[in-house]
């Protein structure tokens, strides 16, 4: 009976020990993915910023500039692209909407970001664009991969339509979470005007015909939860200038926008809460269950060996039964009292 129980325990030990790496290295990469129907919005603010007054073409200090960023999963497009791509795809339609202190629009830039639901690597398909311009992204945008590594990544910049390294700058603690801090600096670069200008009747084409160009630089900072790959905070030190042309004769330049853009506190709090809940699901598949199954397999193996050893050990009754009858150790089988010993025949 003990031997049968030992074999059963051994079988379960092998099963759970084999399940541990399978769950981590086979199941997790296939189960962990960004949902196609995700919706997210965040508000960022630049207080005491500089903004161009297009009426006087002078830069003025303003109390606050707000930037509303939305990400909306386009399920219909995801399903369409998946048929040709042969893998799980997410399509995010995003919009960065900038408003001044008077509530009037400063700029609006829509994007369509198409990426692999598991690895977050870009998927090149029809519709991939920034402000209506077709682009071909390299590297990540908005989100890091699951189980982010301590290394540099290529990050896509929507203003320049190019990708460049975003550098890992160390591990930090943010609102009770251990996060990775990343930085990217985009040097002064000539960039296109937004398709939607803040002044009626003025289009990018009319401004460009005047010979005036838009230049931009930024220092981008992200605090990223390494388990989910989700940024829990983001900031930018952002500057834009208009330079030269008949609009600004003599090679002059004027600041169009300058400010330190930060996430609003209430959105930081809600983002941290969401990430804390989501990271538990990732840890369940990458740490809790694999290590738990490995430990359970070791315990079951030890119990199996113990039962096997006990089943091989002879019991006290079995040892006594094997003693020779009539021996000194077995006096009860000798001659009865009072009987004569018989002679041994020669």
pLDDT (average), residues 207-223: 93
Question: Look-up: residue for tokens 């998927």?
Answer: 123
Locate all alpha helices (DSSP H) within 185-285, ordered by sequence: 204-209, 265-283
Q: What pTM did the predictor assign?
A: 0.85
Query: Rounded CA gap, 327 and 332, in Å?
Result: 9
Which among 85-89, 170-174, 208-212, 248-252 has the top mean pLDDT?
170-174
- Residues 230/144, Cβ–Cβ less than 8 Å: yes
Question: Look-up: residue for tokens 């497009």?
Answer: 77
- Residues 211/183, Cβ–Cβ less than 8 Å: no
Band the pLDDT of 323: cuts 50, 70, 90: low
Cα separation values, 264 from 85, 235, 274, Å: 37, 10, 16
- Residues 243/211, Cβ–Cβ less than 8 Å: no
Cα separation values, 230 from 89, 170, 274, 275, Å: 18, 16, 10, 7
Pick from 14-23, 114-123, 275-284, 309-318: least confident: 309-318
Residue 329 has pLDDT above 60, yes or no: no
pLDDT (average), residues 58-85: 94
pLDDT (average), residues 328-334: 49
Work out the widest C-alpha separation in the chain, in whole angstroms.
144
Q: ∠ at Cα 90 (87, 94), nearest 5°? A: 160
Query: Rounded CA gap, 48 and 216, in Å?
Result: 19
Locate all alpha helices (DSSP H) within 23-132, ordered by sequence: 28-31, 75-85
Question: Look-up: residue for tokens 């960065």?
Answer: 96
**Beta strands across the sheet bearing 162-174:** 133-134, 129-130, 105-116, 89-99, 58-73, 39-53, 253-263, 231-243, 213-224, 177-191, 162-174, 153-157
Residue 293 burial by Cβ neighbours in a 10 Å radius (0-12, 13-18, 19+): buried
- Helix 2-22 crosses helix 289-312 at what angle (to 10 degrees)? 160
Tens-place pLDDT, residues 219-259: 999 999 999 999 999 999 999 999 988 777 667 899 999 99
Band the pLDDT of 344: cuts 50, 70, 90: very low
Query: Rounded CA gap, 235 and 226, in Å?
Result: 18
DSSP β-bridge partners for residue 90 = 115
Tens-place pLDDT, residues 272-319: 999 999 999 999 999 999 999 999 989 988 888 888 788 776 655 555
């Amino acid at each position: 009976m003990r031997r049968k129980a030992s074999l059963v325990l051994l079988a379960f030990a092998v099963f759970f020990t084999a399940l541990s790496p399978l769950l981590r290295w086979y199941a997790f990469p296939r189960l962990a993915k960004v949902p196609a129907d995700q919706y997210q919005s965040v508000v960022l603010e630049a207080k005491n910023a500089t903004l161009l007054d297009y009426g006087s073409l002078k830069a003025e200090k303003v109390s606050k500039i707000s930037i509303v960023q939305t990400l909306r999963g386009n399920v219909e497009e995801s399903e369409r692209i998946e048929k040709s791509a042969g893998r799980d795809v997410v399509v995010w339609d995003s919009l960065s909407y900038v408003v001044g202190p008077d509530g009037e629009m400063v700029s609006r830039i829509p994007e369509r970001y198409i990426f692999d639901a598991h690895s977050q690597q870009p998927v090149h398909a029809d519709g991939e664009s920034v402000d209506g311009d077709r682009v071909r992204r390299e590297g990540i945008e908005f989100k890091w991969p699951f189980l982010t590594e301590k290394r540099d990544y290529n990050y896509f910049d929507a203003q320049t339509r190019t990708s460049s390294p975003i550098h890992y700058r160390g591990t930090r603690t943010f609102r009770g979470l251990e996060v990775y801090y990343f930085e990217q600096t985009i040097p002064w670069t000539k960039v296109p005007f937004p398709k939607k200008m803040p002044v009626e009747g003025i289009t990018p084409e009319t401004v460009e015909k005047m010979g005036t160009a838009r230049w931009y630089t930024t220092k981008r900072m992200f605090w990223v939860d390494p388990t989910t790959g989700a940024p829990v905070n983001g900031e930018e030190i952002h500057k834009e200038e208009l330079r030269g042309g008949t609009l600004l004769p003599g090679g002059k330049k004027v600041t169009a926008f300058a400010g330190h853009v930060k996430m609003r506190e209430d959105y930081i709090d809600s983002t941290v809460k969401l990430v804390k809940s989501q990271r538990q699901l990732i840890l369940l598949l990458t740490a809790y269950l694999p290590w738990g199954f490995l430990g359970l397999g070791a315990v079951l193996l030890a119990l199996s060996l113990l039962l096997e050893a006990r089943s091989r050990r002879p019991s006290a009754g079995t040892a006594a039964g094997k003693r020779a009858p009539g021996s000194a150790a077995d006096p009860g089988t000798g001659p009865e009292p009072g009987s004569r010993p018989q002679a041994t025949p020669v």
